Amino acid sequence: MISKVIKQLTTSKLIKNGFWLFVLQVFNTVVPMFTLPYITRILGPSGYGDFSLALNWILYLQVIVEYGFGYWGARKIATSGREELQKIYSSIITARIALMIFSFAAMCLVYMLSGKEYTHFVCMCILFSMVIGVAFQLTWLFQGMQDMKYITLINAVSRLVSVILIFLMVKRSTDVYLYCFLYSFTFILSAIIGLVLAHKKYGVEVKLCKFLEIKMALQEAWPLFVSQAMSKVLSGFGVTVLGMTVTSSAVGIYSAIYKIPYTMALFFNPISQATYPDISVAFGKSKESGLKRVKRIACIIVPMFVGAAVVLMLLNKPIVTLLFGDEYSNSSMILAPLCLWFVLSVVNNFLGIQILVASGHQKEYSNAFLISAVMSIVLYFILGKLLGMFGIAFATFFAELALTILLLIRVIKI
């Protein structure tokens, strides 16, 4: 009996896909974290603050180019026939190219209106290679095909090369431009290899499609874009507000400490991505089947992340000191509200993505996000101005709490 269960687990597409997604997330988040204690000390709070501000703006543009196609594309491919593969592939790639061009123009306009120093614009231009890489990134394709092994290996090699080069080449506080390049070039490298692999394995090619097909893809993915965009934009909006009100050093300290719960939250992403296609299929059979599947997974996963958050809150000062140095330790208390935010973000993924979106209620999900987004923006400006980085940390938690309540109401209604 036990051997039969083990055999079922090892041959399950869900388990295999989840394993490779987990490995991918490790290399995308944890491996770069190895350089963070080194970089925060080499660049210092001020230099790391300059990099964080530039990266913060680039991540906004990245959200635009992603446009919710991660979940939408994966679901579309998982539920469509093989004959529609090229059509879906072309529509997403073409839409992302158009969004990439728009994003670059927006970046130049923002710089001209912001009055920021030229060095910030140079950092942004270097980091824009991340956006180009995202435009041609194919994780959604391999996820939908439940074949994550190859794209994971590609990203793993790219990330390892980047980490090694950072340790070997970034030696002075003035090496901010070099760090920007080494941080971002892996996106281009992994995108190129992914395109070649997808062509060989699935026979798909990069072909521009008609405007009507782009419009249809944008319309269908819009609800997911709104919710995901709000989530990612709001997670970085605190840095934006801090950049308007405090020094680069304070921005660097907040950005470094924020990376701890943010990285833990990203650890949940492969679980979400692996279970989403499977749960979507379960909801396709019946609402009861889908809800049963979600409950079974949530009862295992949520307690694990709650335990991790408790450990981080109890040991906040020694953890921050160990990772980033004494210059950051005096502000370690902001880790407590950020850890509470992290726990609620896991809960909200089950309520929003795994229940509402997987069951076809994208609009209810995006509407809840819009309401909480407005609340969070107000909180960021008020608490950020009054309490600085501590206000931003508490605003992040309160906004996620509001979202939890809104999502619960919508889940109960359906």
Q: What percent of the chain has pLDDT over 70?
A: 90
3-state secondary structure of 297: helix
DSSP for residue 116: -
pLDDT tier at 227 (50, 70, 90 boundaries)? low
Which two structure tokens, joined as six digits, stand for 370?
């819009």
Domain boundaries, the chain: 11-413
Local confidence band at 116 (pLDDT 50, 70, 90 cut-offs) = low
With beta carbons less than 8 A apart as the criterion, state whether 24 and 148 touch.
yes
* CB-based contacts of 156, cutoff 8 Å, min separation 6: 23, 24, 27, 31
**How far apart (Å, rounded) are the C-alpha atoms in residues 161 and 137?**
18
Nearest alpha-carbon partner for 338 in 222, 250, 218, 254? 254
Taking the model in full, what pTM does it have? 0.68
Q: What is the DSSP letter of 333?
A: G
Give the confidence band of 238 by pLDDT, cuts at 50, 70, 90.
confident
- Give the Cα separation of 404 and 385 in Å (integer): 25
Q: Could you count the other beta carbons within 10 Å of the beta carbon of residue 210? A: 11
User: By C-alpha distance, which of 343, 319, 320 is closest to 389?
Assistant: 320
pLDDT at 22 over 90: no
**For residues 88 and 80, what is the distance between their CA atoms, to the nearest angstrom?**
9
User: Over the stretch 344-353, which tens digit does the pLDDT of each residue have?
Assistant: 999 998 988 8
